[in-house]
Structure 1
Amino acid sequence: MELTVNGKRRTVTDGATITTLLEELQINPLRVAVQLNQQIIKRDLHEGTPLRAGDVLEVITFMAGGSS
C-alpha cells in the first residue's frame, strides 16, 4: 500500500504499523515524534497503530541544541 511520509510517496506492506515503518526507515523511535493524518500519535501507541493506504505521516526528528 502507498502512504506519504515526510512529503514523499512510500510503499509499505499491508498490515504495517508505525513501529514497522520506523524499523524499515531505520529510525530510532525514541528520537522522533510521529504525526499521522495531522494527529500526533503517542509513542506507546506506535506498535498498535495500523497504517492504511493514503495515510500521511510526518516523522519529526528531535535535534539537540541550545543557546550560545
Structure 2
Amino acid sequence: MELIINGETQNFGESISIAELLRELNIEERIVAISLNSHVVKKGAWENTVLQNNDKLELLQFMSGG
C-alpha cells in the first residue's frame, strides 16, 4: 500500500490505522496534528481510521524552542 506523507510516497505492506502509522514512524502522538486527504482527523479517531492506498497525509509536528 502506498501513502503520500508530507509530499513523499512511502510503501507499507498492508492497511494500517493512523495510530499504527505513527508508531511505525516513531512519532509521538502528543506532538502531532494530522490531515488526511485535506481533512483534519481528531486524535480520538486515529485508532479507528484505517488508511487506504494513495491516501495523502500531512503530519504537523509541534516543537518548542527559543
The alignment's TM-score, normalised by the length of structure 1, stands at 0.89
- Partner of residue 8, structure 1: 8
Does structure 2 conserve the Cα–Cα contact (< 8 Å) formed by 1:12 and 1:21? no
TM-score by length of 2: 0.92
Q: Any stretches of 5+ residues in structure 2 without a counterpart?
A: none
Matches within 5 A, 1:1-68: 1-65=1-65
RMSD: 1.2
Aligned-pair identity (%)? 39
Tell me, which stretches of 5 or more residues in structure 1 are unaligned?
none
Q: Which has the larger radius of gyration?
A: 1
- Residues 4, 55 of structure 1: 8 Å contact kept: yes
Q: Distance in 1 between matches of 2:62 and 2:40?
A: 14
> Deviation above 6 Å: which 4+ runs of structure 1?
none
1:13-57 Cα offsets, whole Å, 9 max, x none, are 323000111001000011000100000100010000000001000
